[in-house]
């Protein structure tokens, strides 16, 4: 009986989805590729919070304007959900 219960417990744990880390570099490459088809004048400067289905991306235009963009992934791939301008430019110097 103990072996039967152990087998049930073991199989229940084996079917539970593992929480694996997100490959941020892979997500960045996928978003960069989608970005090149939509608006190639922007470049990715940094990545913020990233999951398999959403990511915060900090971009810079050729003119120096910075944006914080939220990208989401659906069945068709990555798409820009919304964008917010970030104060200052990437070239501005800040002191603390």
Does the predicted model carry a pTM greater than 0.85?
Answer: no
| CA distance to 18, 57, 61, 82, per residue, from 52 (Å) | 14, 14, 25, 17
For 49, the token pair is 């919070």
| Domain limits, the chain | 41-87
In this predicted model, what pLDDT tens digit does every residue of 22-42 receive, in sequence order? 999 999 999 999 999 887 789
> What pLDDT band is residue 93 in, cutting at 50, 70 and 90?
very low
- Give buried/exposed letters for 3-21 (b at 16+ CB in 10 A, else e): eeeeeeeeeeeeeeeeeee
What gap in Å lies between CA 12 and CA 14, rounded to an integer? 5
């Amino acid at each position: 009986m103990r072996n039967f219960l152990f087998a049930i417990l073991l199989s229940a744990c084996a079917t539970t989805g593992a929480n694996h880390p997100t490959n941020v570099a892979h997500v960045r490459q996928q978003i960069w590729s989608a970005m090149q088809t939509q608006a190639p004048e922007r470049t990715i400067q940094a990545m913020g919070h990233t999951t398999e289905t959403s990511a915060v991306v900090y971009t810079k235009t050729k003119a120096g304007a910075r944006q914080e963009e939220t990208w989401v992934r659906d069945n068709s791939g990555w798409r820009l959900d919304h964008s917010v301008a970030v104060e200052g430019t990437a070239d501005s110097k800040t002191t603390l």
